[in-house]
Structure 1
Amino acid sequence: MAFAITQTCCADASCVSVCPVNCIHPAPGEPDFGRTEMLYIDPGTCIDCGACADACPVDAIFPAGDLTGPPRAYVEINAEYYAGQDVLAQASVAPNFHRWAPPAFPRVLPSDFAPLDVAVVGTGPAGMYAVEDLLLHTDSRVTLVDRLPVAGGLVRYGVAPDHPSTKKIGETFARFLDHPRLKLRLGTGIGAARDLAGRHDAVIYAVGATEARRLGIPGEDLPGSLPAAAVVGWYNGHPDLASVDLSAERVVVVGAGNVALDIARILTAGPDALAGTEIAPAALAALRSGKVREVVLLARRGPETAAYTRPELLALAARPDVGLVVDAHDARIAAAIDGAEPGDKAALLRELPREAVDWSSPPPDGRRIVLRFHSSPLAVCGDTEVRGVRASGPAGDVEITAGRVVRAAGFRGAPLPGLPFDDDSGTVPNTAGRVEGRPGTYVAGWIKRGPSGGIGANKACARETVGALLEDAVAGRLPARRRRARLTAKLLRRA
């Protein structure tokens, strides 16, 4: 029986390179790569060898016959991706094999290419994929820098603690931390990292997008209104973030992306279920004594185009101890759900209860998450602290009574000392990772392309940046002053 890829797919394509029959798609170089929610195994082509499961860094691949309960849905989800495709038209020599692309060699380094000294700033996925590329495919010496005392970046402080499989990719990255050609410098701020430029041939900044996007509505800075990063960092034990008050019975999360779903899931989770995870002890204690019974996800868009991915919604709907309800305040919501085709996001909501919620009343007994689509936040209400959120609706504005508001409207990069910055996009202006006007300086990850894509998207991003760096090195475009500084240091050591 074929294998199937499940919810925790990181889409970094480690599985693609080991498949002997090319049955995992979209693959790097294909139009859909980086645009789909996950990768998919063609059940008609898979030969059940299990190589992909061995290579998967996040334990997302299983024999289809072993999947039971809610994960069983991924057997159909994998097959759906290939429905309607003419597999025989793609075949090369037999109907069991997809056509292979011609071999490509995008990098050709001279045989006498001298080792480079490269500094990488940031130990999250983008930085670590760049480190992996440099250490495995060149003779470079790497100095890896992070301002925090613990390596990991987004994997350590951004992935929800009840997603241990996703966090496992950190083990893949960690094996490079004691590589003989790598120096690890933790607890080093960006200002100190800037000094690395004079001692290295190149510097790659992979610092992510750390600032919350503003909602631009009255009251969003009231006490009790928090950015999503503050909540995510809190339950992951980020050293910079304070505790979160969970004394409110209802919490409104503005946004409906995967981060918003993570927050809703953690705030409504039974503490005992989280006790065996990597959740911060202080957060677990707060959940045990907290009063949160209802989390409202406020989504501007409809259920057919919601920002969350299908795998994340499936995981949310599968929880037996927490209710999931659709607020039936707008006729467009029911029309989108009932008219959805199989495989559409809206179709996943078809079996959920729909309710006209009275937002002036306290939450009902038990714990639940309410999805309110086609509703924009207009103001965070309150005088000295949050009292609720005024939101739009077809019958007029409504105030959703709540004691806490979490703003999960996305992230943006922050300016870096000495580098150009595009305030509109929240990124460092670059071409294929090359920072404009700064030879020898590069960016990778969200600070390069904006906060889009999951962990695996950073692999191709970092590879492009490292490729640009190597191309510049071969062409002699790296700053001569850095080469002279390194040569001078060597001569002094020999003297």
Structure 2
Amino acid sequence: MRHIAIVGSGPAGYYTAEAAQKHWGDDVRIDVFDKLPVPYGLIRTGVAPDHQSIKAVSRRYEKTALTENVRFVGNVSVGEDVSIGELEQLYDAIVIATGAPHDRQLGIEGEDLDNIIGSAAFVGWYNGHPQFADLGPKLDGANAVVIGMGNVALDVARILSKTDAEFAASDIVKHALDALMGSGVRTVTIAGRRGPHQIMMTPKELGELMHLERATPRVDPDDLPEEEEDAILEPGLRKSVTLLRGFAAIPESERGEKPIEIDFDMFASPIRFVGDCRVRGVEVERTKVEAGRAIGTGETYVIPADLVVSCIGYRSSPIPDVPFEERAGRFANDEGRILPGIYCVGWARRGPTGTIGTNRPDGQGIIEKIVEDFDSGSLGRGDKKGRAGFDELARSRNLELVTFADWKKIEEAENSAARDGAPREKFIDVESMFAALAN
């Protein structure tokens, strides 16, 4: 019998469990650990609440989780409640699939001013992650600046701009919805160092801005290259740039029809935050792009900002005794192998790149490497205690484990508490999750 521990219950974790199950069938036992009592990681607390079709992929993970040889082990923090060394004694292979839950820092002057927030924290706040439920961003000012040119920046800009009715079918949590409906934001500036041909925004997400009830997107026509230059772009990026051209073509006469403007400020590299205790502006340097790189021109100006959300990427969480690349913000690995018997997958392996679906072949690939290592004899004979051994350890430490059946009870309580039209009202703290189980 093979015993595999997967640390992290998001897409990378469950795709890896699915791949292991397909390879070994009944000859494997897989424990999927998560620090929280609830599964699905990025799907639950990272995907925008108004993108329910994307969240529906969790049904696939549930199918895997409900099989007899896969077990969800929630409310266990690997590195705190149990060490990697202890898991090594119990499992033939450990796969780290923790994602990249922490924000990268810009590292510029003034970054410690109030109301400058990383996207992991801001997205976690409106998605009900227990770590960020009490974030309390100040939304009383008129000007918000979102730094970054990827889909997360679009998510943040869109969430800041929507009406109550547009959130009707979403699972945005109540404290965030109430705050957003009382928001004073009237301009959302999306600032990025490079130009239209270097954006990481996909056409579907960009296109959503055209249909917002109270916001209009704006692009400066002078920021757009000659249209014939779009021919060299790959099709998806070409569609995105075509949408930007459409934003630029919106007549000035139509701009005052909606109360919020989403302004794309390209070729703008942040160099300093301006303010006293709270941020009041972002000083940027005008750039030009040479060979794909943003080069400063020396020209600077200040974008007014009462709120800043930095969407420039994420970092994984180090785990004691596991090699980690601080600069890259991911686990040190050779194509997924970290140390004998220890592997990583998804964002923990490659950094925050790719889509949710990218994790499926990644999970399959890491299982292929584990199979190779079993076949070579480097992982032993599959005679470790696995699940039974972990349960003994958990009892000795009075760990309160949450199973998938427990999660289904929490989910049922969240669904029952949903406002009209919404799929659920998520619990925003661990205590409420356990109270739902007790009831």
Sort the TM-score into its range (normalised by shorter chain): 0.7 to 0.9
* Structure 1 position 229 matched with structure 2 position 124: no
Please name the residue that 2:193 is paired with. Answer: 300
| Higher CA-based Rg | 1
Aligned residue type for 2:362: C
SS in 1 for 2:319: coil
Q: CA RMSD in A?
A: 2.6
**CA offsets per residue over residues 445-494 of structure 1, 9 Å max, x none?**
111111110101111111111111111112211157x83656997xx9xx
Aligned residue type for 2:140: S
Instruction: Tell which deviates more after alignment, 285-294 or 444-453.
Output: 285-294
Shift of the alpha carbon at 1:396?
A: 2.5
C-alpha distance in 2, partners of 1:123/1:264?
A: 28
Aligned residue type for 1:432: E
Please name the residue that 1:399 is paired with. Answer: 302
C-alpha distance in 2, partners of 1:350/1:410?
A: 26
Please name the residue that 1:197 is paired with. Answer: 88
* Structure 1 position 290 matched with structure 2 position 183: yes
Q: 2:334 aligns with which of 428, 431, 451?
A: 431
Please name the residue that 1:257 is paired with. Answer: 150
CA contact (8 A) 1:147 1:188 kept: yes
C-alpha distance in 1, partners of 2:386/2:205?
A: 49
SS in 2 for 1:134: helix
C-alpha distance in 1, partners of 2:388/2:302?
A: 67
Shift of the alpha carbon at 1:395?
A: 8.4
SS in 1 for 2:247: coil
1:373 to 1:383, Cα distance in 2 relative to 1, 3 A = same
**If the length of structure 2 is used for normalisation, what is the TM-score?**
0.78
Please name the residue that 2:267 is paired with. Answer: 374
Shift of the alpha carbon at 1:327?
A: 3.5
Correspondence list, 1:23-422, <5 A: 115-138=1-24, 139-191=27-79, 192-193=81-82, 194=84, 195-241=86-132, 242=134, 243-327=136-220, 331=222, 333-336=223-226, 340-341=230-231, 343=235, 344=238, 345-353=240-248, 366-393=259-286, 396-422=299-325
Please name the residue that 1:453 is paired with. Answer: 354
**CA offsets per residue over residues 151-170 of structure 1, 9 Å max, x none?**
01011111001111100001
**CA offsets per residue over residues 97-131 of structure 1, 9 Å max, x none?**
xxxxxxxxxxxxxxxxxx20111110110001001
CA contact (8 A) 2:15 2:364 kept: yes
Aligned residue type for 2:356: I
CA contact (8 A) 2:219 2:245 kept: no
C-alpha distance in 1, partners of 2:335/2:278?
A: 45
Aligned residue type for 1:300: R
Aligned residue type for 2:275: G
Please name the residue that 1:90 is paired with. Answer: none
CA contact (8 A) 1:117 1:201 kept: yes
C-alpha distance in 1, partners of 2:385/2:48?
A: 44
Aligned residue type for 1:473: F
* Structure 1 position 475 matched with structure 2 position 376: yes
CA contact (8 A) 2:149 2:191 kept: yes
SS in 1 for 2:31: strand
Shift of the alpha carbon at 1:412?
A: 1.8
1:303 to 1:487, Cα distance in 2 relative to 1, 3 A = closer
More helix by share: 2
Please name the residue that 1:4 is paired with. Answer: none
Shift of the alpha carbon at 1:422?
A: 1.2
Shift of the alpha carbon at 1:136?
A: 2.7
Please name the residue that 1:462 is paired with. Answer: 363
1:140 to 1:205, Cα distance in 2 relative to 1, 3 A = same
Count of residues in Structure 1 that have an aligned counterpart in Structure 2 = 365
Aligned residue type for 2:277: T
Please name the residue that 1:444 is paired with. Answer: 345
CA contact (8 A) 1:303 1:336 kept: no
Shift of the alpha carbon at 1:310?
A: 2.3
C-alpha distance in 2, partners of 1:487/1:165?
A: 34
SS in 2 for 1:430: coil
If asked which structure has higher relative contact order (CA below 8 Å, sep 6+), I would say 2
More strand by share: 2
SS in 2 for 1:220: coil
1:441 to 1:396, Cα distance in 2 relative to 1, 3 A = same
